[in-house]
Structure 1
């Protein structure tokens, strides 16, 4: 990008809904999810996110707060995001209580994420009207934000009632817990973020409808923030995309023989994606890539996507790899390693000075086409030898 281009992300994270293949012990899945967060921290990722789901079999974590509390005891620096808590499923006072506890257990590394709830089947289990979920999210989010800021709240809605509610323990983080609201294509997320002065997390940023919506999402946030007098920043805007990368595109596709068809078939049944007409694995992968719904390829593919998202949005603060069991656990770990090796330093500006230093050292030549540094080293050795012999 040139000097006039939007600011690309300088922070990076991993997101696990998680999307797991069937037929494996949930205990094993959970342990691998925890190990992946540990490895992400070792590789320099700044954030790890866990989702909340209650049906479908492929997304087995019911409480991101409980799971992240376990992760907090295995890690030291990576921030831990609830991505996201489905607010219509919970009394907002209890959400605030649990997140404050996580904030203390992690010594200020908790990030609170809000959403209306993704799975209609989850809402069905709880007897919730899916058409009301976004309004319910806004009502609960307002209360949670106020509680975490130290306010006493008395409020009555159609689905919850609080009386002189106040937290007996304040957040570890000052002045409050960092908070984001989830968004895909509808204006509900950016509206809530702007009204309450929160960050925003776009969980499927490269999918067709979501990618187009990105062009206007931040303007909605700023417009709503101006109305409410809240302060917002693009640095608190996070974009996620389902991603698997390998050393070559052929290897990335081969990796996807492990679980792509199973996971992609599941996603096609629970989300408003166009019906697939593909029959072979390669055709299904092609269809998913061409639609923008997934990024499968190499580190260069990932870099290209992040630049594309940067131009589309006008700039954002953090990019998050949305991980799924397209590939085996070993290949998935290699994917995040490659991302840390090749993609993160591209945007954090870590490679350019090293390349410049390399060009400077190797480019300073003598008449004999050797570097001047080699010549100087040779002369120093000769001088030391002559001094010793003399």
Structure 2
């Protein structure tokens, strides 16, 4: 089983952009040294707790300090970008990274980001994403065209559109060609339309954990959509995002995790969101605990939301989950702010890659 990092980034609004940037670059270096496969970076424009509006800047910086780990914006919010410009920037950066790059796409799921870009809400964004994707694919194809769509326009120059002199066109397509560029999509709610969208286009699925019913639904939706278009679903492509904290013993892990930025994020930010949108429901179902979402406390988070414990305990929890849902290819650790006391957090990240992931048994 591979392991990855998701840098949402879940840093408190009090952090400066420089602090968030430096923290992300430092975690990427640690993850690369530890053997992580992927490092994914969110794109948000107005969220104080998730403030990285330019993930490609972090990816470019990490190109200088890492050697093996792959990077992805997860995800570029396509309705907010000019598709031709974004297609060239993606292709160019993938060449800078010499293949250590893959791409996440999304329509945008936050109301305040939509308002910033002049929309009343997020309902009108999905068709814009589809048109943007279609134009980006044409740009990557590199054949002459001019197209004005309903929302965007794009083109690619050719012999008939040159000025009075010949211009040599730069090769800013994806590294290794379009077929070599992996695209991925995230899903959160149990009835996620993103999983169907991904499967129909042969994009990889990334599931934010919400209990076993949600995980099964995500896989089934993606797999059925893949097969409907003649593609073969492969569980090695399935990524699952979890909160993880590892220490020498279960008691030590429970003691230390209460002091981390992860717990601070749950108290001050994530719990309210999960309660409002019913995202705890599947987790409560799995737990067997008679509790309402509002009543969830630190101990419930430690026992049922966070993969918390010694390496042996975390392995056991992952194998139990895999037996219930059928397995996956990569566990993705959600990144949280621990700038004031980074050592326990960094140690946990290293142990996930070196002591847990290589030993987890997957079904079949």
Alignment TM-score > 0.5, same fold: yes
CA contact (8 A) 2:235 2:327 kept: yes
Tell me if the contact between 1:73 and 1:106 (Cα under 8 Å) persists in the aligned partners: no
SS of 2:331 mapped into structure 1: strand
Match of residue 36, structure 1, among 16, 27, 32:
27
Gaps of 5+ in 2: 159-169, 281-291
Matched, 1:340 2:345: no
Give the one of 267, 270, 281 matched to 1:267. Answer: 270
Give the Cα–Cα distance (whole angstroms) in 1 for the partners of residues 78 and 305 of structure 2.
Answer: 26
Aligned to 2:306: 294
Residue aligning to 1:193: 198
After superposition, where does 1:1-390 map in structure 2 within 5 Å? 10-128=1-119, 129-150=121-142, 157-163=149-155, 168-174=171-177, 175-185=179-189, 186-202=191-207, 204-205=208-209, 207-208=210-211, 211-230=212-231, 232-255=233-256, 256-260=258-262, 262-264=264-266, 265-271=268-274, 272=277, 273=279, 277-278=294-295, 284-289=297-302, 292-325=304-337, 328-347=341-360
Rg comparison, structure with higher value: 1
CA apart distance, 1:111:
0.9
CA shift for structure 1 position 322: 1.1
SS in structure 2 at match of 1:212: helix
TM-aligned CA distance change 1:332 to 1:162, over 3 Å: same
Work out whether residues 193 and 221 of structure 1, in 8 Å CA contact, stay in contact via their aligned partners in 2.
yes
Partner of 1:5: none
Q: 1:152 offset after TM fit, Å?
A: 6.0
Which residue matches 1:372? none
Deviations 1:176-198 (A, max 9, x none): 31111111223322212122111
C-alpha spacing 1:323/1:165, structure 2 compared with 1 (3 Å): farther
CA distance in 2, matches of 1:230, 1:155: 29
Partner SS, residue 132 of structure 2: helix
Q: Is the 8 A contact 2:206 2:238 kept in 1?
A: yes
Structure 1 residues without counterparts, runs of 5 or longer? 1-9, 350-390
Q: What is the SS of the residue equivalent to 1:103?
A: helix
TM-score by length of 2: 0.80
Contact map agreement 1:190 1:200 (CA 8 A) in 2 = yes
CA contact (8 A) 1:235 1:316 kept: yes
How far apart are 1:75 and its partner, in Å?
1.0
C-alpha deviation, 1:44, in angstroms: 1.2
Question: Residues of 1 paired with 2:294 and 2:273: CA distance?
Answer: 17
| Superposition RMSD in Å | 2.9
Q: Encode CA deviations 1:217-272: one digit per residue, 9 max, x unaligned.
A: 33333333344344553322211112222223333333322434541121234452
Deviation at 1:331, TM superposition (A): 1.8
> Residues 161, 311 of structure 1: CA spacing in aligned structure 2 closer, same or farther, 3 A cutoff?
farther
CA distance in 1, matches of 2:50, 2:244: 17
| Residue-by-residue CA offset, 1:89-136 (whole Å, 9 max, x unaligned) | 223323322211211111111010112324322222223321233444
Contact 2:318 2:360 in 1 (8 A): no
Task: State the secondary structure of the residue aligned to 1:287.
Answer: helix
Normalised TM-score (structure 1) = 0.75
